[in-house]
Structure 1
Amino acid sequence: MADLDFFIDVVVSGAVLGAGLADSPEEVTRALGSDFAEDRGRTGMWRDYGLVEFSWARRSGSDPWYATGFTVQVHRLAAGIEAAEDLVRRYGPFGGRVRFARLNAELERLGHRLEECATGADYRRYRLTESRTCVTVAATACRDLLDAGDVWSISAPDSPEEAVSVRLDAQRQAVKDGLTHLLRLGGDQREDWLDRRQPPPDERANWWLYLLLVIDRQLGGRPDRQAAWAELKLWLLRQGSARGNFTPIEIAEKTAYFVAGLRPAGNELTAVLPSADDVVQACLDAIPEDLDHVAVLNERRDLRGLDRIRMLRSRQARILISAAQLHLDEVRDEHLASRLRKWIAVKPRLV
C-alpha cells in the first residue's frame, strides 16, 4: 500500500504534511490548503479536511488560538471519502482500510514501538510516546465497513496528563486537599511535604503529572486564587526538574504554554509569571541541536531517511519553537527575538 507511508509519517512525526500539534490555523492552511469545512465559536474552532480534522481553543475572543489536536479519521476511507489531492500527489492512491498489523510491523521495522494504553469492548488504543500520537483500532467489526484489527483513527496529542487522569482520578479529592494545604506552606515545609508523599520511583512520573493536572483544574475556579495556584504550579515544575522527574525540554514547554494561557488573565498574575524573555530563553536553551545542525525535511518522504535520534531532536526543536513563538510579541531583548525568528523560519521543515 503506497498510502501506508502517509499513516506511518503521521504516527512517527505527529503531523500531517508537516502541520502538527502546535500549529496555528494559518500554518495548517499553508500546509493543507483552504478546502475545509469550519465550525468556529468564541473560544473553539474546528476544521474538517475530510480525512483529517484539526481543532483549536482560546480563552476569549481577543486571544490567539492554541492548537488542541488533530485526528486522521481513517475509518472514513471505508465509507468512501476521498483523500485530499495534496495527499494523493504525495503518497499515491489511498485504499479503503488500514490493517493495524501491517502498520505496526512497519513501525517496528523502523524502530518505533507502540504501547497499548487502553482496551474496550469495541476498540484498542496504542500510543507512540515520542510523537504523542494515539492509534485507535477496531476490536470488533463495525457496520460492514471495518473488520476487527482495522485502524479506526490516528490522533494527537495523546496528553500524558490526561492518560494519567484515567488511572488516578479516584485520588483526585485527596490530591486536591493536599495541594490546598501546600498553598499555605513555606518553601522548606513544601519540600518536606513532597519528600513525605512522593511515591516509589516507578510511580513517580505519573504522580507528578497528576499534581499539575489537578492544579490546572483549580485555575478555572475562583479568580482571587489564580495567582496562588499559578505560583504553586511553577514551583512544582521547578521542583520536578530539580528532582529529575521532568527534563529541561518538558519544563520549558510546559512553562511556555502555561504562561501563555494565563498572561491575558490580567495584571494580578504579572508578579507570579516569568517574563516572555525568560520563557523564550528557556525554550531555546532546551533545544538539543543548534540551528545549523538540526535535521530538516525538504520532502516529508525524507522522514524515512532519518535515524530516530535525529528525528527526535528535530521534533523536540519544533515543539519548543512552537511554544516559544507564543511569546514572541512580548520579548524585549531584540537579539533573543531575532534568534527565535530564525528558528520560526525553519520550523515548517522540522520533523
Structure 2
Amino acid sequence: MITSGTVLGAKPTHTPEEVTAILGPDFTESSVYADSMWHDYGLVEFFWHRQSPDHPWEGHHFTVQVHRLASGATGTVPTAISARYGRFDRHLRLHQLQRLLAHRRTVLEEVPDSNAPEYTLHWQPTSHVSLLTYRTRETWARRGRPARGDNRHLGDVQKISSSMPPEQVAWHRSRYGP
C-alpha cells in the first residue's frame, strides 16, 4: 500500500461499493454527518464525503490503523488482507519497513509535523502515502508510567494514510520547519 497507494487495489477515490467488492462486507459503517461516512474494517478505514444527501459519495482517503495490531485482537485484519499476506506481527517497526521498501527502491521522506517529537511523519512522494511513527515516551515521563493497555514500542508505525499531496507536505514544511 505504501508503494501503490492502494489497499489490495482499492483506491482512496473508490466508491463504497467498489471498496466493499475488494475488502468484503465485514465492516462497521459510521456517519456523523450527512456529508461524510467511513467503513471501519478493523485495521483499515475508508472515508468518503459528498456535497449533500442528493450527491454520490466521493472517496477521500484510507487509513491503516497499524497500532491496532498491538492488541492482538482476533478479527483486526480484514479477511481479504490476511488471505493475501498471512499473519501480521503485533508491531511494524519503521526501520524494518524502510529496509523492505529500499529493496523496492521506495523511499520515505521525513516531514515536519505538529505531533513532534512524540511522533514523526514520513511521506512517500510517488504514492502520496504518509506514515506516523511513535518516537518518544514524553507523555509517559509526565505520567511516570505508560497508560494501561499501551502496547506501543518506540519506532512503531502508528498509522498509514493515503492522499497526502505535495502541497500538504509543502505546507507542513513551511509551518513546522524544513
Contact 1:134–1:156 (Cα < 8 Å) also in 2: yes
- Whether 1:107 aligns to 2:107 is no
- Which protein shows a greater Rg? 1
Q: CA deviation at 1:80?
A: 2.4
Q: CA deviation at 1:160?
A: 2.3
Counterpart Cα distance in 2 of 1:155 and 1:113: 16
- Whether 1:29 aligns to 2:23 is no
The two structures have a TM-score, normalised by structure 1, of: 0.44
Which of residues 147, 161, 165 is equivalent to 1:159? Answer: 165
| Identical-residue share of aligned pairs (%) | 39
Q: 1 or 2 for the larger relative contact order (CA 8 Å, sep ≥6)? A: 2
Name the structure with the higher helix share: 1
- Whether 1:134 aligns to 2:145 is no
Sort the Cα spacing of 1:168 and 1:95 in 2 relative to 1 into closer, same or farther, 3 A. Answer: closer
Counterpart Cα distance in 2 of 1:122 and 1:63: 40
Runs of 4+ displaced beyond 6 Å:
none
- Whether 1:48 aligns to 2:40 is yes
Q: CA deviation at 1:21?
A: 2.1
Residue identity matched to 1:152 = Q
Q: Secondary structure at the match of 1:136?
A: strand
Q: Secondary structure at the match of 2:160?
A: strand
Contact 2:111–2:172 (Cα < 8 Å) also in 1: no
| RMSD between aligned residues | 1.6
Q: CA deviation at 1:167?
A: 4.5
Q: CA deviation at 1:166?
A: 3.4
Name the structure with the higher strand share: 2
**1:202-252 CA-partner distances (Å, limit 9, x unpaired):** xxxxxxxxxxxxxxxxxxxxxxxxxxxxxxxxxxxxxxxxxxxxxxxxxxx
Structure 2 residue ranges without an equivalent (≥5): 138-145
The 5 Å alignment of 1:35-74 reads 35-40=26-31, 41-74=33-66
Q: Which residue of 1 aligns with 2:140?
A: none
Q: Which residue of 1 aligns with 2:141?
A: none
Which of residues 115, 119, 123 is equivalent to 1:123? Answer: 119
Contact 1:122–1:139 (Cα < 8 Å) also in 2: yes
Q: CA deviation at 1:17?
A: 1.2
Residue identity matched to 1:107 = L
Give the length in aligned residue pairs: 160
Q: Which residue of 2 aligns with 1:93?
A: 87
Contact 1:140–1:147 (Cα < 8 Å) also in 2: no
Residue identity matched to 1:165 = W
The 5 Å alignment of 1:308-319 reads none
Residue identity matched to 1:99 = R
**1:20-75 CA-partner distances (Å, limit 9, x unpaired):** 12111111000001111111232111110000011001111111111110000000
Q: Which residue of 2 aligns with 1:238?
A: none
Residue identity matched to 2:6 = A
Residue identity matched to 1:74 = V
Sort the Cα spacing of 1:93 and 1:167 in 2 relative to 1 into closer, same or farther, 3 A. Answer: closer
Counterpart Cα distance in 2 of 1:27 and 1:87: 16
Structure 1 residue ranges without an equivalent (≥5): 1-9, 170-351
Sort the Cα spacing of 1:101 and 1:167 in 2 relative to 1 into closer, same or farther, 3 A. Answer: closer
**1:68-125 CA-partner distances (Å, limit 9, x unpaired):** 1000000000022331222111111111001110100110111111110125021011
Contact 1:74–1:151 (Cα < 8 Å) also in 2: yes
Q: Secondary structure at the match of 2:112?
A: strand
Contact 2:109–2:124 (Cα < 8 Å) also in 1: yes
Q: Secondary structure at the match of 2:159?
A: strand
The two structures have a TM-score, normalised by structure 2, of: 0.84
